[in-house]
Chains A and B, each alone.
Chain A
Amino acid sequence: MEGSFGGAILAFWLGILTSISPCPLATNIAAMSYLGKKVGRAGQVLLSCAAYTLGRAIVYVGLGLLIAESLLSIPGASNFLQKYMNKLLGPILILVGMFLLELLTFDFRVSAGSEQLREKAAARGILGAGLLGVLFALAFCPVSAALFFGSLVPLSIEHRSPIAFPCLYAVGTALPVLAFALLLALGAQQVGKVFTQVSRIEWWARRITGAVFVVAGIYYSLVYIFRWI
């Protein structure tokens, strides 16, 4: 087995430290709200959470491997991602928020029946969660860059664990977000059941998520592009 137990715990703990630090707060809130929006469907929330974690893991494993194989330098990768991903994140979040709010729409012409249509929509939601994981993992802030590039990558190389440790780190970074997303979804579901309004709550959850994305996007643009805050 690669790595060591102590190293594995540390990798996981570094992930938790990353996710509870204040700088990824805006993306964490956006992720929580996105993952928790399928109020009436606990199974789909769980699958979305898994996809989100997998998306993050792919990024961390990929970066770790590229650095371990000397195809990327730590300062080069870290500075590039911190500089450009956070800048791009603002406009991307606003556009995604606008789709969630249905201010912008894609014309998906599907001739399938309603059951297949629902399945396709669910699959799209899970794929979206995975892509969100990739996007948010790439948007390194100073704390996540320091912990990932400064601690996790050297730890993985030292313990010769280029896959397991970055995966544990990914789980650590996603765990608090997932816990809150599940609580949010289950809490809203209970409220919906009490008032027999689950579908109505889901409708609101989608709009709130859209608004959260737009606000987070404006915040990212103001901070990283316009440097106003």
Chain B
Amino acid sequence: MFREKHAGMESDHMLKTTVTALLLGFVALSIARLAHDEIFKAPADETLAAEAGDRAREMIVYYFWEPPRCDTCRKLEAYTLEAVRDGFADAMKSGRLEWRMVDVSEPQNEHFTKRYGLFTKSVVLSHVEAGKEMRWKNLEEIWLRVGDKADYLAYIRTEVEKFLKGE
């Protein structure tokens, strides 16, 4: 009886030690990966940036994102694309309007964060002429409207329409 109890306590102790070691190992690995990513971060290279300039005049709908992609972020992305694709099919086909998704965690895209003052996933409209950006607008209400799909689609379409008209 005593021996059985003693054996049970020993196996409990061993399980506890194993779980502790595994979890501490995982914590150490996480911290090592974090440090590695910070130390060996690739330097920013703005020349690789996905910028406009190859066409004379262009309107761009940017969706700026970075991992991880939360559920709401995926909705922002899908709804915006749907609004642009369905609402401005002709403009997109003619190349007057372009949809671009940009991962701002990539070093070559970091400058977008500064240029547009981005602080989270964002939709920005940009008007470019001869490679030069003439004006831009950050659609700041996306987060307040994403809960209502119809409202969100209408908001994006209205804003893009106004932007295309130069308003």
Interchain CB contact (< 8 A) of B72 among A23, A75, A225, A226: A23
Residue of A nearest to B31 (CB): A91
Q: Chain A residues with Cβ under 8 A from B56's Cβ?
A: none
Residue of A nearest to B117 (CB): A75
- Which of B15-23, B44-52, B82-90 lines the interface with chain A? B15-23
Interface mask (A83-111 → B, CB under 8 Å = 1, otherwise 0): 00001101100110010000110000000
A-B contact count (CB 8 A): 80
- Which of B63-71, B94-102, B127-135, B159-167 lines the interface with chain A? B63-71
B31 and A103 contacting across the interface, CB-CB below 8 Å: no
Q: Is B42 an interface residue (CB 8 A)?
A: no
Q: Is B11 an interface residue (CB 8 A)?
A: no
A146 and B68 contacting across the interface, CB-CB below 8 Å: no
B34 and A87 contacting across the interface, CB-CB below 8 Å: yes
A95 and B27 contacting across the interface, CB-CB below 8 Å: yes
Compute how far the CA of A227 lies from the CA of B33 in the bound complex, rounded to whole angstroms: 11
Interchain CB contact (< 8 A) of A22 among B71, B143, B144: B71
Interface mask (A125-151 → B, CB under 8 Å = 1, otherwise 0): 000000000000000011101110111
Interchain CB contact (< 8 A) of B113 among A79, A90, A142: A79
- Which of A27-35, A51-59, A197-205, A216-224 lines the interface with chain B? A216-224
Compute how far the CA of A146 lies from the CA of B141 in the bound complex, rounded to whole angstroms: 9
A150 and B117 contacting across the interface, CB-CB below 8 Å: no
Q: Is B92 an interface residue (CB 8 A)?
A: no
Q: Chain A residues with Cβ under 8 A from B114's Cβ?
A: 75
B73 and A142 contacting across the interface, CB-CB below 8 Å: yes
Q: Chain B residues with Cβ under 8 A from A227's Cβ?
A: 67-68
A75 and B118 contacting across the interface, CB-CB below 8 Å: yes
Q: Chain A residues with Cβ under 8 A from B119's Cβ?
A: 74-75, 77-79, 145-146, 149-150
A78/B72 contact (C-beta < 8 A), A103-B19, A225-B33 known: no
Interface mask (B23-59 → A, CB under 8 Å = 1, otherwise 0): 1101100110110010000000000000000000000
Residue of A nearest to B73 (CB): A142
A150/B143 contact (C-beta < 8 A), A225-B34, A226-B33 known: yes
B26 and A218 contacting across the interface, CB-CB below 8 Å: yes
Q: Is B4 an interface residue (CB 8 A)?
A: no
Q: Is B148 an interface residue (CB 8 A)?
A: no
Residue of A nearest to B19 (CB): A103
B68 and A223 contacting across the interface, CB-CB below 8 Å: yes
- A94-B27, A218-B26 given; name 6 further pairs at CB < 8 Å: A22-B70, A75-B114, A79-B113, A88-B34, A146-B121, A227-B67
Which 9 interchain pairs have the tightest Cβ spacing?
A78-B119, A146-B143, A23-B70, A145-B120, A221-B30, A103-B20, A146-B120, A75-B119, A91-B27
Q: Which residues of B contact A (CB under 8 A)?
A: 16, 19-20, 23-24, 26-27, 30-31, 33-34, 37, 67-68, 70-73, 113-114, 117-121, 140, 142-144
11 A-B contacts (beta carbon < 8 Å): A21-B72, A23-B70, A79-B113, A98-B20, A103-B23, A141-B70, A142-B120, A143-B143, A146-B143, A224-B68, A227-B67
